[in-house]
Amino acid sequence: MMSKLNKVMMLGTVFMATAGTAQADEALFGYLRGAETLPKGANEVVQHLTRRWDKGMGEYTAYDSKTELEHGFTDRFTGAAYLLGQAVKSQGLQIDGYIPADINTGMQLSGVELSAKYNFLSPAKDDFGLAAYVSGAYKRLDRTSGQKKDAYQVEAWLLAQKNFLDDQLVWVGNVGLESTYAVRLPIAGANLTEEQWPTTPEMEIGILAGTGLSYRVAPNWFVGAEMMYDSEYETQVGRERWSVQAGPNVHYGAKDWWFTATWLPQLAGGGFETYPGQTDTSLHLIEKTKQEFRVKVGFNF
Amino acid sequence: MSNYDRWLMVPALIIPAVASAPAYAVQYMNVEQAQKVLFPAAEGFEARTIQLTAEQKSAIEASSGVRVRVAEIKAWRAIQGGKPSGWFLLDEVYGKHEFITYAVALGMDGAVKGVEILDYRETHGSEVNNAKWRAQFTGKKAGDTLKLDEDIKNISGATLSCKHLTDGVKRLLATYATVLK
């Protein structure tokens, strides 16, 4: 785990030293998306790293890695491909159907993703920005338990953006629909019942919405806050879970690279069930954690 | 090493990179050089710094639709053959992260004679210094549209610089019509 993280960081440092000049399409937010697209012919590599930790019992820490290559096909249409990775360490917490066993995986390749973003209205030119974003992903690992699970996921988002004060203050609003088909794979050597680790296919629909503000506080520096509502529905139980996360973010944009960091703790949550022994029942802690922190570093070329 | 220690590697790598990031400033010309370029036949310039009143600010904002961020107008009257031949206005607008310092020359009829970029500190979008792009402003007067993708072409990848300079010229034309005419 340590050596792999080191490698990711070193790779980033090498990129910083070698990236060429280009126009930036900087992400001011860690979790939300703005309505702008890359200029035609521009490229961007973005490394996302998210830490999720604390389920209120035992020891739980997970890292999600996302390595993104983005290309501006036209001024309005941007496409991207992603390599997904994850590491899950969970000890002293077993939840039927979600976390069947203690695990410490280290960083592993967990999936691939493709996305497309189309800009209808530019926040800089049209006073109000609007874009559509769609993505499709295949994932081979379960982000909660770290166990093997085949999942096919599509997302569709509407992204709104309004700039104020000579574009120094940026508001974004996102609404999204997420649809997932997933099958958990049997765990070799483990004698688990269908209740502990169901291996029948499942379908889930997620409704997500978020909003945030970012303000230029000094040359190259933006500081803001963002909030994300995340919910999941399935046939048997209706709304299986919901959560609201919110927190501060900071963004720095340099000549040909930028970074954004966001702390997004869960403020409220709930759903169909809590895990046995869960003490903090004002949060959803089965699939979500109490804490999340994300760093994104982008390089333009 | 704990997870917290591992996580601290992120800022530990980013902060030195930020601290060592050089400033990207290009000074194309100073005020005197810009005055010479925009009014080559002028024999002198009379400085006329103007402090806008609240009413004047409101009037400029109402007629241009652009926010007046600074109340002080840095203006020079160009003198040619002992008579005023136009106005040289020095201004600053935001690019994306940094200020762009530019100058607008107005003829005695209030129309734009030329626009020059003096300092460009932005990391991107320096294409706004392209003479062909700046020439789009020549002849513009107070009340003209001055809007990106309409009478002023945008430069892809430099949208914010294009927009803020276009708004800046529009604001200066409204300033001329309100307090300099």
Per-residue pLDDT reduced to its tens digit, A60-92 = 999 999 999 999 999 999 999 999 999 999 999
Q: A166 and B154: CB-CB below 8 Å? A: no
Of the pLDDT bands very low, low, confident and very high (cuts 50, 70, 90), residue B120 is confident
Whole-angstrom distance, CA of residue A63 vs CA of residue A16: 22
Q: Which of A21, A71, A104, A167 to mutate to test the interface with B (most CBs of B within 10 A)?
A: A167
Whole-angstrom distance, CA of residue A173 vs CA of residue A176: 10
Q: B6 and A216: CB-CB below 8 Å? A: no
Nearest residue to B128 via CA among A41, B136, A147, A17: B136
Q: B6 and A219: CB-CB below 8 Å? A: no
Chain A, 133 to 162: residues with Cβ < 8 Å from chain B are none
User: What integer is the mean pLDDT of B55-66?
Assistant: 96
Judge whether residue B1 has pLDDT over 50.
no
Residues of A in contact with B69 (CB under 8 A): 166
Whole-angstrom distance, CA of residue B22 vs CA of residue A255: 9
Percent of chain A with pLDDT over 70: 92
Tokens of B63: 């007629």
∠ CA A42-A43-A45 to the nearest 5 degrees? 155
Query: Tell me, what's the pLDDT at B10?
Result: 57
The pTM (predicted TM-score) of the whole model is 0.85
Of the pLDDT bands very low, low, confident and very high (cuts 50, 70, 90), residue B171 is very high
Tokens of B120: 């460009």
Q: A23 and B158: CB-CB below 8 Å? A: yes
Range in A4-18, A115-129, B8-22 the model is least confident about: A4-18
* Interface membership of A195 toward B (CB under 8 Å): no
Judge whether residue B59 has pLDDT over 50.
yes
User: What integer is the mean pLDDT of B39-60?
Assistant: 96
User: What integer is the mean pLDDT of A287-291?
Assistant: 98
Judge whether residue B24 has pLDDT over 70.
no
Percent of chain B with pLDDT over 70: 85
Q: How far is A170 from chain B (nearest CA, A)?
A: 12
User: What integer is the mean pLDDT of A171-191?
Assistant: 95
* Interface membership of A282 toward B (CB under 8 Å): no
